[in-house]
Amino acid sequence: MQILLPALPVIKETFEVSTEVAQLTLSLSMLAIALGTLFYGPLSDKYGRKPVMLLGLSITLIGSIFCFLANTIELLILGRIVQAFGGAVGLVLARAIVRDVYGAQEAARVIATLVMVMVVIPMLSPALGGELMLRLGWEYVFVLIAIACIVIFLLLLQSLPETLKEPVPFTGVAAMLSNYVLLFRSRAFCGYAFCVTFVSVVFFSFISAAPEIMVTVLERPPTEYGYYFVMIPMGFMAGNYFARHFGRSMELNRMISIGASIGVGGISLAIALQLMGFHQPIALFAPVALAVLGNGITLPNAQAAAINQFPKFAGSASGLTGFLQMFFSGIAAQLVAVIFNGTVYPLLIMMLIASLLSLIFFNLGVRVKPLTTD
């Protein structure tokens, strides 16, 4: 997702389309990931983790080649949808494989490490994408992704054992939907799940609009975005470290409340700095990094709280939470392009509203059913 971000303004100029149309290469790919999170879990429960993982990587490879060869914006968007739908397999099955291999307590530690690793690559990818775009052209981003797919495919084919011990028969779409209805009937689950959702909206709204703002509002080159963007995942990593370090000594709901409040404070600070006339990139990225630090505290704890509401349906709860994250984030990513008026204020106001909604939904969930780490 993030490796293409610096190229969005260039893609807009190359195909002579509006910002809203160019933004579809991001927002529709996020919706494709949302659908993939619902698709791969049940499929891997029946057929195994390894074959489904290899299937997803193959789809990503096909989508990447399609994107490289695309000569219209419509074909590029279609290729991005295919690429993203395939790539969703890693988001879903990496955690499933960890659950297969490790016990409950050890799995939590390993998944926390996975989250840290998954932050590092997005931190580096916009800078890498910017350099590729500068030296070879934005199309070569997809060459790099295709090469990565082939390498990972061969490594998994050679080294990944099948970790699913007992296949689970897929009882049909109706049964899957009934599980989701059961989850939605729980106000506590909805409170935590939508807290996670709107925390994600804050992050994806920013990453989808920031490249355009850097070029047209702050008048900085696209390649510079990648280096300022490093502050954002570093903030998330700091928040994630806080959550891991204080996870045993601080009550879970208290950490969520602290993180959500920091998120609101960081976005409010960004708005205040803009109103005071500080229009430099650092005045935008630094307070947003502070908000994302709060998100790094909130996200893992709220995710765990949502899943723990129904231990017997942990897989469905995880998949539904992931779907809500990407679905609403995809809509938000497109909406920020529609409401963009040549200033940073529409983006920051949307991020502030999302931050407030995450805090509101969390409070609604806590009132119904307080959840502790005990």
Residue 118 amino acid letter: M
Predicted local distance difference test score (pLDDT) of residue 222 = 67
Q: What is the mean pLDDT of residues 341-358?
A: 91
Alpha helices by DSSP H, the chain: 8-14, 19-47, 49-69, 73-101, 104-135, 140-159, 173-184, 187-212, 222-229, 231-245, 252-275, 281-308, 314-339, 345-368
- When comparing pLDDT for 365 and 349, which is higher? 349
Q: Which of 109-113, 284-288, 336-340 has the lowest mean pLDDT?
A: 109-113
Kindly give, in sequence order, each residue whose CB lies less than 8 Å from that of residue 187, ignoring residues fewer than 6 positions away. 364, 365, 368
Q: Count other Cβ atoms within 10 Å, centred on residue 135.
A: 8
Predicted local distance difference test score (pLDDT) of residue 197 = 92
pLDDT mean across residues, the chain: 83
d(CA 261, CA 295): 9
- When comparing pLDDT for 126 and 182, which is higher? 182
Q: 372: pLDDT confidence band, cut at 50, 70 and 90?
A: very low
Q: What is the mean pLDDT of residues 338-361?
A: 90
Q: Assess whether pLDDT exceeds 50 at residue 132.
A: yes
Predicted local distance difference test score (pLDDT) of residue 368 = 46
Q: Which residues of 320-352 are buried (b: 16+ CB within 10 A; e: fewer)?
A: bbbbbbbbbbbbbbbbbbeebeeebebbbebbb
Q: What is the mean pLDDT of residues 57-73?
A: 92
Predicted local distance difference test score (pLDDT) of residue 102 = 75
Torsion of CA 38, 40, 42, 44, to 10 degrees: -160
Taken in order of first residue, the domains within the chain and their CATH numbers are 1-161 (1.20.1250.20), 172-366 (1.20.1250.20)
Kindly give, in sequence order, each residue whose CB lies less than 8 Å from that of residue 159, ignoring residues fewer than 6 positions away. none
